[in-house]
Amino acid sequence: MLPCLNKTLLGIDCYGCGGQRAAILLFQGNFREALLMYPAIYTLVIFAIFLIINIKFKFKGDFKIKIAFIILNASIMIISYIFKMIQFYNLTN
């Protein structure tokens, strides 16, 4: 797997840390573990499927759907990152 440059240099996770491991867990059929590893994995997969389908078939209002997916995924990533940093802080103190 690719190493996280942020974690390598600074020692703390970034917003995407856990995404690769969650994707591997998802492909292995470990759905619960994938969700716990990286909560945005399912919405990212649905978004990717939508983007692939949208290349072939254009939908009315597809731009608004894309923006909604981006906001949803960013929100999940930020919230899970905050929880991860709170746990990290609690473990180190």
Give tens-digit pLDDT for 47-56: 999 999 999 9
pLDDT for 2: 79
- pLDDT computed for residue 57 by the predictor: 92
Residue with tokens 């930020």: 78
Q: What is the pLDDT of residue 62?
A: 93
Query: Which pLDDT score is estimated for 11?
Result: 79
Q: What's residue 89's pLDDT?
A: 77
- pLDDT < 70 regions, the chain: 93
Q: What is the pLDDT of residue 92?
A: 72
Q: 69: number of CA atoms within 13 Å, CB side?
A: 17
In the block, tokens 């940093």 appear at 85
